[in-house]
């Protein structure tokens, strides 16, 4: 339901009402918009009690009335920020737990009693969860007014927190479910917790003074360009310098402390300065995105130069609204910190903001609240919940269930009417259509073959359409990326399904990996710096350095709109050099970690540094890259490896580097281990680079020896089923298990050395008197390079009983000094599991060898049953290590149910086994079954049962495709007879002004 502006104000009510208005403790934006709604309620003759932790002046500056009562209570903490641009996810969850979870019973009793004491007619929340539950306990109706809810924001934080604070999101969602309906503001996030929605215009504070009056009071003449530096009332933390601003500009600084010494072209604003007036009088604004800044920038047509915050999920929706109305210019954090502001400010003042919709949301919301308090009921939109659920899942709203609790998605969430279907999600570039004319549109293919791959055809078509106008920022950026008079190289690398081996790869195990149908494509152009079409801020940066054009890397990543990462990245390739040598990997890691919204670029740009460091490659030309991946992130199917392999393959092809697929995979692992900082093994990159369609890549990870490609028998089929629980090899659980494994190997080697020394000492070093074979075995075990080289029987006979279940990091280091793993660091204070992580790879290596042998045995039910049993054993071994999850356990249990069902037996068997894959702790389950129609039906039945139990419809991976080595590369060239592309000097004006 949408209510637009339609009245001259909130009519005075014949009945005096009392409103209790709860305001979140996150930022001034919530308090300022609440002020606008409250002002209208008080004007209509009602009392309003504001429950808040915000300063009084935020409300009293705008409202001087005895009907306003301010009660200073903080009932939620919002997102804890380390600085103006950095959200601390774990601290946010911990703070919320301290603020609203531990004292919950006391809060509910206190608020319920207080609400009855003030005789509140309606509780309004922006957007304090516990207020809705307290209102229900007090028997009072409640309404929320917001553009986001904390269950959506915190859901991603829970993924990073591992096992901690999982129940917080559920509790918040349940609290919101007591709310009668939601008054939803523009720029909203998915909010599945609310069943009934009323959309209103922007809630914006009114202006008190004209722009001319404001400038006169500030002493600023009309010829001066004004920019307001606004980080939501927080100090920016910047060391401001005079040269940050172009000549003739003045910057008004919000939140500056009295002790700050500002340059002459910067001016402090008073703490209680009325920012709407100043924003309306400014030529543009520079700061971070929040509802308050965005709404006022749109309402008063003030172009907004914004810098992304990390880990705040409200931001993409507000950002899209800014850009949709031509009111936003994105500045990369590096340029903010270094003072490279000029190209962004100049771009901003050239914009013509076009927002013409209503800005009287405060009045409209107040009228709805008054009518609700008087007893009016608003109709339900039954389909809205399903639509929001679909959007939420697409955007990564995937909640983890609390371990050990038989609680699933609440009923209002699970019974959404819309079905997501069984289709494979397509790459963002193909829009669901794969048709491509035989001549590949406007390109000649000078080298290579598309091999009939529909996703590659779609990617080529997307390239041919890049000269057309686009509204999405990533498409605008891509349209200005290439010089169409030069050749472009295209590569493709698939994700992989971990059939067997998983986390045993870093212990040297045999692994079996299948490349999946979903893949990453990269289009790359190598071009002389004098011909490179730079984005304007990159061009300005080069001009500031003076001299001749130098090599620049520019990257566009499709799919950024579905996440909070920047769609583009650029850097001078000289940044990778320190004097005459490449910078260290550690320095590169810090370089990419500066801006979390651009950390993704480490997977792509990091391949260049690895080639420079390991192979001595020199890059003198500029490089432009377009990355488009259909491999879903966070599902344990190697999305990162596919990006790395496709990127390095494209760079190698364009520069004529002869790198074998195996060598390329090992180089890509260095990117992930040393530049990204994820402690993964090499099997992901090997499968993506060396795999072949419909075959299992068999590899011994010592470090990466391919022992063959195993044909998948025609009667056997593999599927992947996504649990919906986000997986990350960078996560704490994966890293701690790896550390425990290396600890166990160090203990085994230490014990073997002691046993060897004892044997030699006891026999006076006379080797003839000692069992020579035993000594040789002990020698090997004392110098063990890979844990998987220890056979299970030797492990059980000599070492298993001596390993502790767990050990504190400090204790281990005191006893053994180090664990000899170059990609992980032991935390002195953490307790690590040892026995289970050590046992897993030793037995997993044996299981994988057995699995490989069974694949080539005679077809029989015994063969399938044995293969399935090995998968089950692997799955439960993961759980023993601490890498299980409720979602993957549920999927494996559903496979077991169908395997042993009467229907399956009547068909001669369908599904035979399943296991968690990759790094564990969520992600995808691999299922083995008979290759028949009934098995596929059972897979879809697993999908539907899982959705019924959890509310999440799993994605199904099925099918295979060639690895990057088998695909090779395409060299393409746009035909001269095609439509005019963006070429030549005349196109300088269309280059991307704001690349993020």
Q: Which residues are catalytic?
A: 684
Q: Is the peptide bond before 703 cis (omega within 30 degrees of 0)?
A: yes
CA distance 874 to 917: 9
Chain position carrying tokens 């046992």: 839
- Give the pair of three-digit tokens for residue 528: 């002389």
Q: Are strands 266-268 and 249-253 parallel, antiparallel or unpaired?
A: parallel
Q: Quick one: tokens of 728?
A: 């990350």
H or E stretch covering 698: strand 695-700
* Spatial separation of the C-alpha atoms in residues 457 and 788, rounded to whole Å: 42
Pairing assessment for the beta strands 266-268 and 284-288 based on DSSP bridges: unpaired
- Is residue 865 left, alpha or beta, with left meaning phi > 0 and alpha meaning psi from -120 to 50? alpha
Tell me the H-state helices in 534-600.
536-545, 585-593
> What six digits make up the tokens of 796?
């059980």
Please state, in angstroms and rounded to a whole number, the distance separating the CA atoms of residues 334 and 346. 18
Q: Is the CB of residue 833 less than 8 Å from the CB of residue 737? A: yes
* Eight-class DSSP state of 978: S
Q: Which two tokens stand for residue 954?
A: 């799993």
Tell me whether strands 510-527 and 622-629 are parallel, antiparallel or unpaired: antiparallel
| DSSP assignment string, 513-532 | EEEEEEEEEEEEEEE-GGG-
- Largest pairwise CA distance in the chain: 108
Count of other CB atoms within 10 angstroms of residue 599: 18
Q: How far apart are CA 207 and CA 214, in angstroms?
A: 11
For residue 916, give the nearest of 735, 725, 788, 744 by alpha carbon: 725
Whether a cis peptide bond, with omega within 30° of 0, leads into 127 is yes
Burial of 822-843, coded b for 16+ CB within 10 Å and e otherwise, reads ebbebeeeeebbbbbbbbbbbb
Half-sphere exposure of 436 (CA within 13 A, CB side): 25
Which residue, 810, 547, 522, is CA-closest to 648? 522
Three-state SS string across 634-697, please?
Answer: CCCCCHHHHHHHHHHHHHHHHCCCCCCHHHHHHHHHHHHHHHHCCCCCCHHHHHHHHCCCCEEE
Q: What share of the chain is helix, strand, coil (3-state, %, to 5)?
A: 45, 20, 40
Residues 363-402 as b or e (16 or more Cβ within 10 Å = b):
bbbbbbbbebbeeeebeebeebbbbbbbebbebbbbbbbb
Both tokens of residue 591?
A: 């370089």
Helix axes 361-373, 27-43, angle to 10 degrees: 60
Query: Which residue, chain included where needed, has tokens 């008087």?
Result: 374
Residue 420 main-chain phi, psi, to 5 deg: -90, -10
φ, ψ for residue 310, nearest 5 deg: -90, 140
CA atoms 240, 244, 247, 251: torsion sign: negative
* 174 and 149 Cβ atoms separated by less than 8 Å: no
């Amino acid at each position: 339901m949408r209510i637009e502006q339609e009245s001259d104000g909130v009519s005075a009510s014949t009945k005096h009402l009392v409103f209790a208005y709860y305001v979140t403790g996150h930022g001034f934006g919530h308090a300022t918009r609440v002020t606008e709604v409250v002002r209208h309620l008080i004007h209509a003759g009602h009392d309003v009690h504001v429950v808040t932790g915000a300063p009084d002046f935020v409300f009293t500056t705008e409202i001087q009335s005895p009907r306003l009562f301010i009660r200073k209570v903080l009932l939620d903490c919002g997102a804890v920020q380390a600085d103006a641009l950095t959200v601390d996810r774990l601290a946010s969850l911990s703070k919320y737990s301290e603020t609203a979870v531990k004292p919950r019973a006391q809060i509910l009793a206190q608020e319920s009693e207080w609400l009855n004491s003030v005789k509140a007619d309606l509780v309004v929340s922006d957007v304090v969860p516990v207020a809705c539950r307290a209102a229900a306990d007090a028997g009072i109706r409640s309404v929320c007014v917001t553009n986001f809810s904390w269950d959506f924001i915190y859901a991603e934080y829970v993924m990073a927190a591992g096992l901690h604070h999982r129940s917080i999101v559920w509790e918040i969602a349940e609290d919101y479910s007591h709310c009668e309906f939601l008054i939803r503001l523009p720029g909203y996030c998915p909010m599945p917790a609310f069943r009934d929605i009323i959309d209103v215009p922007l809630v914006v504070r009114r202006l008190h003074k004209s722009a001319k009056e404001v400038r006169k009071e500030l002493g600023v003449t009309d010829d001066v360009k004004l920019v307001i530096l606004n980080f939501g009332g927080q100090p920016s933390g910047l060391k401001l310098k005079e040269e940050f601003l172009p000549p003739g500009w003045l910057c008004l600084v919000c939140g500056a402390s009295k002790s700050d010494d500002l340059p002459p072209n910067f001016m402090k604003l008073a703490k209680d300065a009325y920012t709407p007036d100043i924003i309306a009088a400014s030529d543009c604004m520079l700061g971070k995105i929040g509802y308050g800044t965005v709404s006022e920038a749109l309402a008063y047509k003030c172009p907004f130069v914004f810098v992304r915050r990390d880990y705040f999920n409200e931001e993409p929706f507000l950002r899209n609204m800014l850009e949709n109305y031509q009111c936003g210019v994105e500045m990369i954090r590096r340029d903010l910190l270094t003072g490279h502001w000029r190209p962004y400010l100049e771009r901003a003042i050239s914009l013509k903001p076009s927002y013409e919709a209503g800005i009287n949301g405060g009045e409209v919301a107040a009228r709805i609240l008054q009518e609700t308090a008087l007893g009016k009921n608003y109709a339900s939109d039954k389909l809205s919940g399903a639509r929001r659920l679909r959007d939420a899942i697409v955007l990564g709203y995937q909640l983890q269930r609390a371990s050990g609790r038989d609680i699933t998605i609440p009923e209002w969430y699970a019974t959404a009417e819309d079905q997501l279907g069984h289709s494979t999600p397509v790459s963002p570039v193909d829009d669901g259509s794969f048709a491509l004319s035989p001549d590949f549109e406007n390109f000649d293919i000078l080298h290579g073959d598309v091999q009939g791959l529909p996703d590659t055809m779609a990617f080529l078509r997307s390239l041919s359409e890049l000269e057309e106008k686009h509204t999405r920022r990533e498409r605008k950026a891509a349209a200005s990326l290439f010089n169409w008079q030069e050749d472009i190289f295209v590569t493709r690398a698939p994700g992989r399904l971990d059939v067997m081996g998983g986390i045993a790869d870093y212990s040297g195990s045999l692994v079996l990996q299948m490349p999946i149908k979903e893949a990453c494509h990269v289009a790359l152009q190598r071009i002389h710096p004098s011909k490179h079409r730079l984005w304007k801020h990159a061009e300005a940066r080069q001009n500031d350095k003076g001299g001749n054009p130098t090599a620049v890397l520019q990257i566009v990543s499709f799919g950024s709109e579905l996440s909070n990462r920047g769609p583009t990245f650029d850097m001078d390739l000289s940044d990778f050099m320190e004097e005459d040598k490449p910078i260290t990997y550690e320095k590169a890691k810090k370089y990419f970690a500066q801006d979390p919204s651009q950390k993704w670029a480490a997977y792509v740009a990091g391949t260049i540094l690895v080639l420079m460091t390991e192979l001595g490659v020199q890059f003198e030309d500029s490089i432009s890259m377009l990355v488009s991946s259909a491999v879903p992130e966070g599902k344990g199917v190697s999305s990162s490896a596919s990006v790395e392999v496709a990127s390095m393959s494209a760079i190698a092809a364009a520069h004529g580097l002869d790198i074998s697929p195996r060598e390329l995979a090992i180089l890509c692992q260095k990117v992930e281990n040393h530049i990204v900082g994820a402690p993964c093994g090499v099997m992901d990159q090997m499968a993506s680079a060396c795999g072949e369609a419909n075959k299992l890549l068999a590899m011994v990870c010592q470090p990466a020896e391919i022992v063959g490609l195993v044909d998948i028998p025609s009667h056997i089929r593999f599927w992947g089923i996504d649990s919906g629980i986000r997986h990350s090899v960078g996560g704490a659980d994966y890293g701690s298990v790896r550390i425990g494994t290396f600890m166990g190997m160090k203990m085994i080697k230490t014990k073997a050395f002691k046993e060897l020394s004892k044997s030699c000492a006891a026999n006076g070093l006379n080797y003839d008197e000692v069992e020579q074979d035993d000594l040789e075995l002990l020698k090997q075990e004392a110098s063990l390079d890979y844990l998987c080289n220890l056979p299970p029987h030797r492990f059980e006979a000599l070492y298993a009983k001596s390993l502790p279940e767990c050990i504190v990091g400090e204790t281990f280091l005191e006893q053994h000094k180090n664990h000899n793993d170059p990609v992980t660091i032991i935390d002195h204070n953490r307790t690590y599991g040892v026995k289970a992580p050590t046992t897993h790879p030793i037995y997993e290596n044996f299981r994988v060898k057995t699995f490989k042998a069974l694949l080539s045995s005679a077809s029989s039910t015994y063969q399938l049953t044995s293969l399935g049993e090995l998968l089950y054993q692997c799955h439960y071994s993961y759980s023993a290590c601490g890498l299980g999850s409720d979602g993957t356990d549920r999927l494996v249990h559903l496979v077991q149910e169908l395997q042993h069902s009467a229907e399956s037996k009547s068909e001669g068997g369908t599904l035979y086994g399943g296991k968690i894959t990759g790094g564990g702790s969520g992600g995808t389950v691999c299922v083995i079954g008979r290759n028949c129609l009934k098995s596929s039906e059972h897979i879809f039945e697993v999908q539907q049962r899982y959705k019924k139990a959890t509310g999440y419809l799993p994605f199904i991976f099925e099918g295979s495709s060639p690895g990057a080595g088998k695909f090779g590369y395409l060299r393409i060239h746009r035909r001269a007879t095609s439509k005019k592309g963006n070429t030549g000097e005349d196109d300088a004006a269309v280059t991307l002004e704001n690349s993020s």
